[in-house]
Structure 1
Amino acid sequence: LGAMLYHLLAGVPPYNARTATEVIAAAALGKVIPLVEREEGTPLDLVAIVERAMAPVPAKRYPNAGDLADELRRFQTGQLVSAHRYTTAQKVRRWIKKHRAAVTIGSLSVVAFAVTGTLAIRQIVYERDAAQYERTLADTRRQAAEGLIDKMLSDVKVRLVQIGRLDLLANLGSQIREYYATLATIPGGMPSGDVSRMAVAVELIGRAERDSGKTERALKTWTDVRDQVAALVGSDLGDDTLGARAMLARLDFQIGTIYQGRGKIASAIDSYQTARTGFTKVLAQAPNLRQVLLHAGENHDRLGDLLRNDGKVDKSLAEYTQGKQLRHRAMALAADNPSEEVLAVSTSHLKLGSVAQMRGDTKTAFAEYDRALRLRETLLESQPDNVEVQERVIDVQNTLADLQRLTGDDGSAIKTYEMARPLLEGMLHRDPANTSWKRLYGNLLADIGFTLLDDGSFKAGLAELEHAIAVQQDLIARDPTNASWQVDLSRSYTRAGDGHIYLGAVDRGIKTYETALELRRALTANSPKNVPYRRSLAWSYAKLGNAYVHQTELAKAMASHEQALEVRVALVNDSPQHTGFRNELASTEIALGRLIAAKDVKRGAALVRSGVDRARTLVAADPFNQEWKETVTQGLISTAEVAKHAGDLVTRRTALEEAIAIATQTTAAAPHNAQWPVFLAEIHAGIAEISDPQKAAASWRAVRELLEPLAKAGRLYALKKPLLDRARAGR
């Protein structure tokens, strides 16, 4: 702060250095050209304040920012400052200046018998003019100091955001609140200009508190200042209150982020909708406020996210589209280097891509994600040390990798995820306490681990997932009320359960699934209508159902799948356009139908047929998505199994022939995927069971050729090794 004061007063930095290392060295040695030499007219007491703030020895500096602020206020109001040593003559002159009226009256009393009444009147006029001068001087000093503070606040914010250390401001929150509380006690209350300045400062402090994991404190910070700003504005909708009303909308938005993070979706939506109304009214009155346009666009995105998570695809698209339009308006108003606007527009591409992906339009989703990534990488080239841009690049890379994984390209997905790892680890090395980055890192580890499992690297994948769990548990220990972090942890537990199952540790896999289920039940109990919670709950039921089959606990397996079916039917009924919901319902229908067929062939066949038809519709609309093809393939294998119970050889053969065509094509398209060779081997084994000896031998040979390479590489699921043993025995 002392260096910034010096820079602002002198017009040049205090240290003549070219690199960060040289700056640190110069600061340590105290190599600074005295401010009074740079700016000869600078008041000596202000020079003393700057020199103390920049003292090389920490013990000689101001203990904290609050003490520095108090010293600056004393300077503003003409009081003595502690940093300056005044001579007796200086003190006398300041005392006379401060008590000019008393000194003048005393002097007049000495010569009262020698002067006329006219002289007395002239002295009164002089005193009036002097008082006016003092007031003007005080106002000028205050305005200059406030301008200095505003400049410092703005500059500090930009610099801290760029290096990812906005959290450093969190510790100033109580001091800033105390400062403005003191201002509020002055006669007549705090001036409106100070209220607006306070709102800007406190909004920033709240962000720092939230990002450092102090969400309760951030919520109080924002709600308290919102009340003060709302009281100032009242019902005044004039131009003079535009800034305050825009800040009210921004505070409503920030309050909504806290509610959303805690899983209080209804409260979050209320806050975002209130913010949207506020932004809309301000922009209707002043349509070219660039920062308000950007903030309003961000608010539309938040509403779109909640609608998308709720399965309301069309409504979410409308919100994202409005946000994009506002951002393009802001870009048109920006200067030559609109980095903030470019980031915002790239976010709109990312959001629109997510809607396309949800609708099953993988090609459009890839195109939108690629646009977002190119915009952000362009910014990163020009600002390689800006961690905010780095974080945004990582966000797109992870989203793109997710889609690569869904299309069966595990190798590319792993490479894309790994591109993000060094950037994120470097950011965390710089600021280990940043909860946003830590959450991003935990999710990245989980995504890498999950993709490694799909690729057949079971031990490596499980190790990444266990690392992710440790990171996420640490986050929850900081804030047990954060529902978003609990969702992340439950997902990692579920994926780790997959890893244990693949390695043959079924009991441990079930326990891990049950841990995830407990978290998800608690979340759903607190918010029964929350769609993402219900969706994750259905996943836990489905995973447990599949695991119970491996233990031949068929009653438990069917009960779990029935629970998953109930939830997924309701989700699809509420959001029929959501392709993910439809595919998950199809998967459950197929799994449950296959189990039930042993006792109830009619219902089992109906469920499997419904699942296959549902998945076929998805594949027809989006032939790039391998997940849909996997569901169809599993459905056809289950169709053959149900036909086996019914003694229907024709249906059994037809289903397997269709399945082998799909699986052969998909395996060729995703040669590194460890799942599709197993699916193909299962189909060949089914064909071997219904073929003559010669064709059966060829089918068993095909099974061996598919599974032997996986087994040698340690990429074959432990539970599929018996199938390889059958193939080796030719039966």
Structure 2
Amino acid sequence: MLRWFLGGSRQSGTATGGQSPVTNIVGHHATVINQIGETSEVAERRHHEQMAALEHLRQEMAREKGLDPVVLKPIFDHLDQGDLSLDEIREKAEEAVQAILERARQPPPTSNDGADIDATIGAARAKLATLDTAGARGLLADKIAEEETARRHRLIPLLQEQAAIERLTYDHAAAQTTLRRLAELSPDNTWVWIDLGDILATTDTVQNAAVAYVRARTVAERLTQADPENTQWQRDLSASHSKVGDIQQTQGDLTTALVSHRTALHLSQRLAKANPENIQWQRDLSVSYNKIGDIQQAQGDLTAALDNHHAALCISQRLALTNPGNTQWQRDLSVSYNKIGDIKQAQGDLAAALNDYRAHLEISQHLVLTNPENTEWQRDLSVSHDRIGNIQQEQGDLASALISYDAALKIRQRLARADSGNTQWQRDLSVSYERIGDIQQAQGDLTAALNSYRAALDISQRLALADSKNVEWQRDLSVSYNRIGGILQAQGDLMTALDSLCSALDIRQRLVWADPGNAQWQRDLAISLGRVGRCQAVLSRTEEALTALNRGRDIVLSLQRQSPGWAVLADDLALFDKIIASLDADAPPN
């Protein structure tokens, strides 16, 4: 480019004086640059002259009035910012001095704002008597900061109580606003950010909840680094890691979630070991064990999951025995029974699972009787009925399962009506519709089952659209599509059924791509492939059906190698083998 620019055209010839155009341009630029430099030097010299004149004026005025020149500096500094002559600056400075001294002579007004406020104003005016405006402003600034801090401290407990009441009355928008205001007033309070994250997790998006939880962790990390021996901050850090882990699990990132929960466990273990008598730290330890067990179960490591849930159960049993009247510890115990029941069911030990679920039910019923208005305990009770219904259905007792599912449904309908903004309760309701639909389908009432599944789909679609980052809701949507596809296929509407089944398959494929280590999602994908394959087989698309079925079978085989204790996989494999064998037998020879 430089060669092209300097070369120009062969016909350009020479400019006036025999010089090329480029030479003229360069010379002109040099002249301009020199002029700019000279102008800059002149401006700088004039500025120094003006500053010197202003300083001379300040010193002269201070001598005339018998003042320290320093006290006049704030006045002159601000007058210099205007477009004033030296005479005008002197006139304005004289006016300011007279006004300041006049204010100093005025006694502070009597007020009802407190003696400390009056004293500060009096001290500021005393400073004005010597024209020490900087000193007067400093006194006032210190007192204002003190009052703002005191007001902030007084506001915080009031706002905390306001947020609690807003949440109790399901005014989630107001509670969010109050908690955000609290976060502004107390940005270094880890639990304000955790509380904000909690309400966002159930009434807003996972992404917004994650922002609040990560902020809580950042605050806790900074405080802990500043004072590593502060056990309260150590506990806050553990709690924030646990919350971040929860949201990572909801987003489908099991590997990172497990790291977060293990960090929380490490902190909890250290605290519990340092002071075994601290009941709260013991409870925190049990919560960490349960969280890790949940992740391991999702990854298909049932043995490790059971070990961690048993560790949590031992702590919960010990705490519950020391104080049977403590409802929190009783609830913790019920949660441990429930989680162990889930593992036993996955391992195929239905009798043991049912015993654990009934232990959970007994505690939940007792808690609800002590306080029927506690919505958390009401939800726990609905979960108990749901889990027991699952076992009864698996055992073939459809009538009892329907009773259990209906008991759960009634509770969930009541909770969802009371707080339509609570996404967890809305999801629970969709699960109940699906469970009842399963029984109706097993009993041969396909029309009723389809209505139940569509009720579940309506909720699942609404939740999935509200937050596409919530992978649990995406999975729920795939379950609804699968259920509806199954009914439509049984009713003979094969093409519509295949569309619904393929919608479920698409979602499940995306979830597996997002987190290949999630064993449950791998099994979901295998089931979808099996359902799509069976529908294609009925449509006489044998080659496509076998492709889907063999792919699903391969996934199940891989899961069996990873999780040999996962009992249901043997049934899955047997079903795949049976369907594939029947299609192979019907396939025309090559």
Decide which of 535, 550, 553 is 2:490's aligned counterpart.
550
Which residues of structure 2 form unaligned runs of 5+?
Answer: 1-113, 117-142
Decide which of 629, 640, 643 is 2:584's aligned counterpart.
643
Residue 387 (structure 1) aligned with residue 327 (structure 2): yes
How many residues matched?
450
Deviations 1:404-443 (A, max 9, x none): 2222222222211111222212211222111211222222
Match of 1:659 in 2: none
Aligned-pair CA distance for 1:292: 2.4
Return the alpha-carbon distance in structure 1 between the equivalents of residues 395 and 162 of structure 2: 45
Return the alpha-carbon distance in structure 2 between the equivalents of residues 578 and 642 of structure 1: 30
Match of 1:559 in 2: 499
Return the alpha-carbon distance in structure 2 between the equivalents of residues 201 and 634 of structure 1: 61
Q: Give the 5 Å matches for 1:153-232.
A: 190=147, 192=149, 195-196=152-153, 198-199=155-156, 202-203=159-160, 206-207=163-164, 209-210=166-167, 213-230=170-187
Decide which of 573, 587, 599 is 2:513's aligned counterpart.
573
- Quickly say closer, same or farther: Cα 1:217–1:337, change in 2 above 3 A: farther
Return the alpha-carbon distance in structure 2 between the equivalents of residues 513 and 319 of structure 1: 36
Residue 515 (structure 1) aligned with residue 455 (structure 2): yes
Decide which of 327, 331, 335 is 2:268's aligned counterpart.
327
Decide which of 424, 430, 442 is 2:364's aligned counterpart.
424
- Quickly say closer, same or farther: Cα 1:544–1:450, change in 2 above 3 A: same
Return the alpha-carbon distance in structure 1 between the equivalents of residues 525 and 567 of structure 2: 16
Match of 1:606 in 2: 547
Decide which of 235, 244, 254 is 1:303's aligned counterpart.
244
Match of 2:71 in 1: none
Return the alpha-carbon distance in structure 1 between the equivalents of residues 589 and 398 of structure 2: 38
1:589·1:611 contact (CA, 8 Å) conserved in 2? Answer: yes
Match of 1:265 in 2: 206
Match of 2:395 in 1: 455
Return the alpha-carbon distance in structure 1 between the equivalents of residues 168 and 309 of structure 2: 26
1:597·1:645 contact (CA, 8 Å) conserved in 2? Answer: no
Residue 399 (structure 1) aligned with residue 339 (structure 2): yes
SS at match of 2:186: helix
Match of 2:535 in 1: 595
- Quickly say closer, same or farther: Cα 1:215–1:333, change in 2 above 3 A: farther
Match of 1:526 in 2: 466
Match of 2:561 in 1: 620
1:262·1:483 contact (CA, 8 Å) conserved in 2? Answer: yes
2:224·2:237 contact (CA, 8 Å) conserved in 1? Answer: no
Indicate the larger mover: 203-212 or 361-370. 203-212
2:207·2:469 contact (CA, 8 Å) conserved in 1? Answer: no
SS at match of 1:597: helix
2:283·2:315 contact (CA, 8 Å) conserved in 1? Answer: yes
Residue 483 (structure 1) aligned with residue 483 (structure 2): no
Q: Give the 5 Å matches for 1:680-691.
A: none
Match of 2:573 in 1: 632
Decide which of 324, 331, 350 is 1:410's aligned counterpart.
350
Code of the residue aligned with 1:547 in structure 2: it is I
- Quickly say closer, same or farther: Cα 1:354–1:326, change in 2 above 3 A: same
2:206·2:469 contact (CA, 8 Å) conserved in 1? Answer: no
Return the alpha-carbon distance in structure 2 between the equivalents of residues 296 and 205 of structure 1: 26
Decide which of 305, 310, 314 is 2:255's aligned counterpart.
314
Return the alpha-carbon distance in structure 1 between the equivalents of residues 327 and 340 of structure 2: 20
2:172·2:421 contact (CA, 8 Å) conserved in 1? Answer: no
1:212·1:434 contact (CA, 8 Å) conserved in 2? Answer: no
Return the alpha-carbon distance in structure 2 between the equivalents of residues 467 and 263 of structure 1: 28
Residue 252 (structure 1) aligned with residue 193 (structure 2): yes
- Quickly say closer, same or farther: Cα 1:382–1:279, change in 2 above 3 A: same
Deviations 1:243-275 (A, max 9, x none): xx2x2x211111010010114111000101111
Aligned-pair CA distance for 1:291: 2.4
- Quickly say closer, same or farther: Cα 1:287–1:645, change in 2 above 3 A: same
2:206·2:251 contact (CA, 8 Å) conserved in 1? Answer: no
Aligned-pair CA distance for 1:355: 1.9
1:290·1:333 contact (CA, 8 Å) conserved in 2? Answer: no
Aligned-pair CA distance for 1:206: 3.5
Aligned-pair CA distance for 1:630: 2.4
Aligned-pair CA distance for 1:344: 0.4
- Quickly say closer, same or farther: Cα 1:447–1:214, change in 2 above 3 A: farther
SS at match of 2:425: helix
1:448·1:461 contact (CA, 8 Å) conserved in 2? Answer: yes
- Quickly say closer, same or farther: Cα 1:203–1:291, change in 2 above 3 A: farther
Q: Give the 5 Å matches for 1:230-379.
A: 230=187, 245=188, 247=189, 249-334=190-275, 337-379=277-319
2:254·2:295 contact (CA, 8 Å) conserved in 1? Answer: yes
SS at match of 1:360: coil
Return the alpha-carbon distance in structure 2 between the equivalents of residues 204 and 366 of structure 1: 39
SS at match of 1:284: helix
Aligned-pair CA distance for 1:550: 2.4
Deviations 1:474-531 (A, max 9, x none): 1122211111111111111111110111122111011101100010011111122321
Return the alpha-carbon distance in structure 2 between the equivalents of residues 287 and 205 of structure 1: 33
Larger Rg: 2
Deviations 1:69-94 (A, max 9, x none): xxxxxxxxxxxxxxxxxxxxxxxxxx
Code of the residue aligned with 1:228 in structure 2: it is L
Return the alpha-carbon distance in structure 1 between the equivalents of residues 562 and 573 of structure 2: 13
Return the alpha-carbon distance in structure 1 between the equivalents of residues 169 and 232 of structure 2: 24
Counting aligned pairs with the same residue, the percent is 22
- Quickly say closer, same or farther: Cα 1:600–1:370, change in 2 above 3 A: same
Aligned-pair CA distance for 1:207: 4.4
Decide which of 467, 480, 495 is 1:540's aligned counterpart.
480
Which residues of structure 1 form unaligned runs of 5+?
Answer: 1-133, 137-185, 231-244, 650-731
Return the alpha-carbon distance in structure 1 between the equivalents of residues 202 and 232 of structure 2: 24
- Quickly say closer, same or farther: Cα 1:414–1:263, change in 2 above 3 A: farther
Code of the residue aligned with 2:272 in structure 1: it is M
1:212·1:435 contact (CA, 8 Å) conserved in 2? Answer: no
Decide which of 462, 470, 482 is 2:410's aligned counterpart.
470
Match of 2:111 in 1: none
Report the aligned-residue RMSD.
Answer: 2.4
Code of the residue aligned with 2:551 in structure 1: it is S
Match of 1:503 in 2: 443
Code of the residue aligned with 1:483 in structure 2: it is T
Code of the residue aligned with 2:347 in structure 1: it is T
Taking structure 1 as the reference length, the TM-score comes to: 0.59
SS at match of 1:577: coil
Code of the residue aligned with 2:398 in structure 1: it is F
Code of the residue aligned with 1:264 in structure 2: it is T
Code of the residue aligned with 1:297 in structure 2: it is S
Taking structure 2 as the reference length, the TM-score comes to: 0.72
2:474·2:507 contact (CA, 8 Å) conserved in 1? Answer: yes
Return the alpha-carbon distance in structure 1 between the equivalents of residues 271 and 432 of structure 2: 39
Aligned-pair CA distance for 1:210: 3.2
